[in-house]
């Protein structure tokens, strides 16, 4: 079984590449979705996060408000590190279990989509290849303003907390520039897929 680690900064098109790979037959593990699952009120992680950041991050129904938590941690490196120390080891454990389940099920290609694949302790050594999506900052700003309604300063604050695309690309086996049409991107990813198989 081949495990591809797919990473790239906020707004670089990771999810689009992931969706193309899923259509081609890969099984996707989405680390962000796993992280969101850990924020549910019935989890141990939830208790640790509320203890670390206080009840001001909660919605009236008791759920963690991801927007409030995001504003807090993306404005404060120490807070972001604290959150990552709580969440990353748990995500790594879940990813390991899922990869093993897929291996036993005879799956040929698994894609681990993770924004912090390179930065998070323990994730990078779970993959056979690292694929990085890149795009110029101006394109990221345009995409995230139109798709998610974010302000420029919100986007830049998030980007500053991430390793630069250039540094990520240096650790990649494959670099995919997504600053192109969807058809061109699909063609490029399909070629990469056929080369793998």
- CATH number of the CATH domain containing 137: 3.40.50.300
* Parent domain of 142: 2-196
8 A C-beta contact, residue 20 and residue 131? no
pTM equals 0.90
- For residue range 44-103, list pLDDT tens digits in order: 999 999 999 999 999 999 999 998 998 899 888 899 999 999 999 999 999 999 999 999
Q: How many domains does the chain have?
A: 1
């Amino acid at each position: 079984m081949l495990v591809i680690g797919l990473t790239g900064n906020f707004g670089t098109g990771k999810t689009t590449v992931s969706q193309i790979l899923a259509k081609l037959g890969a099984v996707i593990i989405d680390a962000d979705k796993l992280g969101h699952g850990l924020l549910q009120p019935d989890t141990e992680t939830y208790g640790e996060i509320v203890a670390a950041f206080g009840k001001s991050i909660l919605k009236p129904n008791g759920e963690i408000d991801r927007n409030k938590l995001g504003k807090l941690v993306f404005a404060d490196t120490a807070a972001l590190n604290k959150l990552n120390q709580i969440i990353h080891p748990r995500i790594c454990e879940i990813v390991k279990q899922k990869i093993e389940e897929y291996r036993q099920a005879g799956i040929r290609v698994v894609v681990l989509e993770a924004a912090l694949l390179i930065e998070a302790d323990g994730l990078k050594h779970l993959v056979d290849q690292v694929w990085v999506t890149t795009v110029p900052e101006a394109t990221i700003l345009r995409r995230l303003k139109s798709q998610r309604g974010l302000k420029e300063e919100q986007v830049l604050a998030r980007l500053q907390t991430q390793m630069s695309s250039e540094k990520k690309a240096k650790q990649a086996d494959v670099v995919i520039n997504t600053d192109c049409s969807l058809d061109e991107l699909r063609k490029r990813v399909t070629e990469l897929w056929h080369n793998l198989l």
